[in-house]
Amino acid sequence: MQNLPNILTAQDIADYLRIGRKRVYELMDLSPKHGGIPTFSVGRSRRVEKADFLRWIAERKEVVAR
């Protein structure tokens, strides 16, 4: 996780999670309230802060543990 940049692209997330980039975009399209990855826009591109991504992973692990 320390190798991840502070600002992530969909490809960074796909590579890290070993899933397709299309699936990452689907997760980005979901509201964070419904399990989506929180994003912000830079022009027409979407990016994710590393801290938000790590929090999102922790929340997913918490949901599974219930």
Residues with Cβ within 8 Å of residue 57, at least 6 apart in sequence: none
Report the sign of the C-alpha dihedral through residues 40, 45, 48, 50, in that order: negative
Is residue 50 within 8 A of residue 7, CB to CB? The reply is yes
- Tokens 């309230």 identify what position? 33
Predicted confidence pLDDT, tens digits, the chain (66 residues): 678 999 999 999 999 999 999 999 999 999 999 999 999 999 999 999 999 999 999 999 987 777
List residues bridging with 46 in a β-sheet.
41
Domain boundaries, the chain: 7-65
- The residue length of the chain stands at 66
pTM above 0.85, yes or no: yes
